[in-house]
C-alpha cells in the first residue's frame, strides 16, 4: 500500500478532526519500509483540556440516552466499519508493520465483532433483583455511567485496542478521551470519525495523539476525568495508578505478560509445536499474551525443540502488504535493537540460539525486522525468561514432574495468560485451576472471543476488557432503598429515639 500524507490531523475533538497545537512534529511511519503515512503536530495539554471539556459537555445527554438508542448506534457503527474493512486493514498493517493477512483476518474483523457485541450488551446491564430485603423497604440496584473516561492505548493492536477502550465505555453511557500511541494513531481517529458519521454525538468519542509523558500525563491527572483506563507496560501502569490514586479515580489497568506454554508428555506434539510457533510469533511477538516460555516435559523436549525450529525456519518474513507474508516488522528500529540486545545478552549468559537470533537482512534490513528466534539452555532466573521481550522470541526449557512444570509456569510476577497442552482431562483441569493467569488455554494458545473477558492477575493488572465483565467496570452501582409503606414510624427508629404518641409530630 502506498499511502498519501494525511494533513487533516491525527486529533479528533468535539466531533472535528484537527491538528495538534504543540510545537512538536508528529510523523507516522510504516516501520517495515520507512514510508511516511501521516504528518501532524502532537497534541498539547491544552488540546487535552479541550477534549475533556467536549466529553464533559456530551456526557449529560449521552448518559441519558436510552440503552436501546445506544445499541442502535453501535449496530450502525459495526456496519459502517464493515464497509471500511479493507481500508482499515491496509492502514492497520502499514502503521504497525504487521502482515496484511493478520490485520485483515484478525484485527479488523475481531474489532467489528466487538462493536456488535457491545451493541447488544448495552441493553443488558445485570444487577441483583429488586426485593423487600429489609421487610419495610424495596431495594433496587442502578448501574450508572461513571462520567468522562481517560483512556491510553498501546501501539501493538491500535484499532483493536481503540475498540476495547471505547466500546464498553460508550455502551454504558460514558464519554471518552482516547490517547492512542503516537506511533499508530491513524485507525483510532478513523474509528472516531466513523462513530460520528453514524450519529454518535459530538464529544462522546475524542482522540488526542501525543507523547505519554505530556498528553498521557495530562489526561490521567485531569481534574474532570472520572476514570482512567490504561493498557501498556507494568512500569507505566504503576505511574498511572499512582497519579489516579491521588484523586481517588477509578483505574482500569491491563498490563504486561510473560505467558508460559506448558507441554505435558501426553500432549499431541505436532499440535503443540505448531501452537508454539503461532503463539510466539503472532504480531511479531508484540502481544502481551504471546507464548514466551515453553516448558516441555523431558520426554518430548528434544523433539519439540527440533520441530519448532523446523517450523520457524519456514516462516515467511517479508513485505507486510504481501498476503503470503507470515511475519512483519517490529514497531520501530529502536524496539528491534532492544529485542536484539536481549537475545544477545541471553546468548552471552549461556543460552543457545537454535534458530534466528538476528535482525532481518537484505531488503528486510530497510525495516525493523527480526528473525523468528528459538532459544534453549537459558536459566530460569535469567532476563530472557523473566522479562518481557515483546518480539518473535521463544525460550524452551525442560521439566520433569507435573508439580515442577506448574511451579515453573507460575514462577513469574506476571499473570495474564498461559496455555497447557495435554491429552488428559485431569491434567487439563489441574492446570486450569492452578496456573495463576487471567486466561488459561487448553491445547491452544492466543484465541480471544468478544463474549469472554481478557485481563490478568498479579503484575498484569486486574481489569477486564471485552465481555459484559468489562462493561460492568465502566459503570458504578447505586443502591436505591424506598420505604414500602407511608407510615412515619419505622422499627429501627426505636433504636435511636422514642417518640411519644401515635400521631405525627407537631
Q: Which residues are catalytic?
A: 254, 288
- Which helix (H) or strand (E) covers residue 179, if one does? strand 175-179
In 3D space, the residue among 129, 125, 131, 144 whose CA is nearest the CA of residue 482 turns out to be 131
How many angstroms separate the CA atoms of 160 and 89, rounded?
11
Inter-residue contact 251 to 227 (CB < 8 Å): yes
C-alpha distances in Å from residue 328, one per residue of 106, 144, 436: 15, 43, 31
Instruction: Determine how β-strand 137-145 pairs with β-strand 36-41.
Output: unpaired
- Non-local (6+) Cβ contacts of 281 within 8 A are 290, 312, 315, 326, 327, 372, 392
Q: Which residue has the cell 503443540?
A: 272
Residue 402, Cα to own-chain centre: how many angstroms?
31
Please tell me the distance from the alpha carbon of residue 435 to that of residue 332, in angstroms, as a whole number: 33
Strand partners, 476: 144
Q: How many CA atoms lie within 13 A of 467 on its CB side?
A: 11
Q: What is the torsional sign of CA 281, 318, 255, 477?
A: negative
Q: Quick check: 374 and 304 in contact, CB under 8 A? A: no
Please state the φ and ψ torsions of residue 344, each to the nearest 5 degrees.
Answer: -65, -40
Cβ contacts of 357 within 8 Å, gap of 6 or more: 343, 347, 371, 373, 375
Cell 495474564 identifies what position? 416
CA distance 393 to 389: 7
Give the integer Cα–Cα distance in Å for 137 and 88. 53
Distance between CA 169 and CA 6 in Å, rounded? 28
Q: Tell me the C-alpha distance between 338 and 393, whole Å.
A: 12
Amino acid at each position: 500500500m502506498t499511502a498519501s500524507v494525511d494533513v487533516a490531523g491525527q486529533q479528533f475533538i468535539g466531533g472535528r478532526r484537527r491538528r495538534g497545537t504543540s510545537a512538536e512534529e508528529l510523523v507516522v511511519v510504516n516501520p517495515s519500509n520507512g514510508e511516511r503515512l501521516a504528518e501532524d503536530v502532537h497534541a498539547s495539554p491544552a488540546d487535552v483540556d479541550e477534549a475533556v471539556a467536549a466529553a464533559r459537555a456530551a456526557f449529560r445527554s449521552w448518559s441519558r440516552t436510552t440503552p436501546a438508542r445506544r445499541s442502535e448506534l453501535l449496530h450502525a457503527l459495526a456496519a459502517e466499519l464493515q464497509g471500511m474493512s479493507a481500508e482499515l486493514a491496509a492502514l492497520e498493517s502499514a502503521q504497525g508493520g504487521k502482515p496484511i493477512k493478520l490485520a485483515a483476518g484478525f484485527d479488523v474483523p475481531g474489532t467489528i465483532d466487538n462493536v456488535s457485541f457491545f451493541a447488544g450488551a448495552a441493553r443488558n446491564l445485570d444487577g441483583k433483583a429488586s426485593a423487600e430485603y429489609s421487610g419495610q423497604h424495596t431495594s433496587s440496584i442502578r448501574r450508572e455511567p461513571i462520567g468522562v473516561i481517560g483512556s491510553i492505548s498501546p501501539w501493538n493492536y491500535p484499532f483493536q485496542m481503540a475498540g476495547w477502550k471505547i466500546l464498553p465505555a460508550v455502551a454504558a453511557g460514558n464519554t471518552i478521551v482516547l490517547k492512542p500511541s503516537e506511533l499508530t494513531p491513524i485507525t483510532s481517529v478513523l474509528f472516531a470519525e466513523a462513530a460520528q458519521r453514524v450519529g454518535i454525538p459530538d464529544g462522546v468519542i475524542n482522540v488526542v495523539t501525543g507523547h505519554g509523558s505530556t498528553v498521557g500525563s495530562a489526561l490521567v491527572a485531569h481534574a474532570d476525568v472520572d476514570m482512567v483506563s490504561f493498557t501498556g507496560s507494568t512500569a507505566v501502569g504503576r505511574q498511572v495508578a499512582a497519579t489516579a490514586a491521588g484523586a481517588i479515580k477509578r483505574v482500569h489497568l491491563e498490563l504486561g505478560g510473560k505467558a508460559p506454554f506448558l507441554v505435558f508428555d501426553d500432549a499431541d506434539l505436532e499440535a503443540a509445536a505448531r501452537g508454539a510457533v503461532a503463539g510466539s510469533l503472532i504480531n511479531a511477538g508484540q502481544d502481551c499474551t504471546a507464548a514466551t516460555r515453553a516448558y516441555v516435559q523431558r520426554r518430548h523436549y528434544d523433539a519439540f525443540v527440533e520441530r519448532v525450529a523446523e517450523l520457524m525456519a519456514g516462516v515467511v518474513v517479508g513485505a507486510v502488504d504481501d498476503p503470503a507474508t507470515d511475519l512483519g516488522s517490529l514497531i520501530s528500529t529502536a524496539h528491534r535493537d532492544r529485542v536484539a540486545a536481549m537475545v544477545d545478552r541471553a546468548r552471552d549468559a549461556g543460552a543457545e540460539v537454535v534458530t534466528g537470533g538476528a535482525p532481518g537482512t537484505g531488503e528486510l534490513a530497510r525495516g525493523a525486522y527480526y528473525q523468528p528466534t528459538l532459544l534453549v539452555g537459558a536459566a530460569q532466573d535469567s532476563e530472557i525468561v523473566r522479562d518481557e521481550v515483546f518480539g518473535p522470541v521463544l525460550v524452551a526449557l525442560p521439566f520433569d514432574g507435573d508439580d515442577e512444570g506448574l511451579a515453573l509456569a507460575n514462577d513469574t510476577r506476571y499473570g495474564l495468560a498461559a496455555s497447557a497442552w495435554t491429552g488428559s482431562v485431569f491434567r487439563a483441569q489441574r492446570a486450569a485451576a492452578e496456573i495463576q493467569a487471567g486466561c488459561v488455554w487448553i491445547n491452544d494458545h492466543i484465541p480471544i472471543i468478544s463474549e469472554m473477558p481478557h485481563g490478568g492477575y498479579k503484575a498484569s493488572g486486574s481489569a477486564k476488557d471485552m465481555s459484559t465483565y468489562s462493561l460492568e467496570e465502566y459503570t458504578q452501582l447505586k443502591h436505591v432503598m424506598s420505604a414500602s409503606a407511608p407510615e412515619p414510624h419505622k422499627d429501627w427508629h426505636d433504636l435511636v429515639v422514642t417518640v411519644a404518641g401515635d400521631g405525627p409530630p407537631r
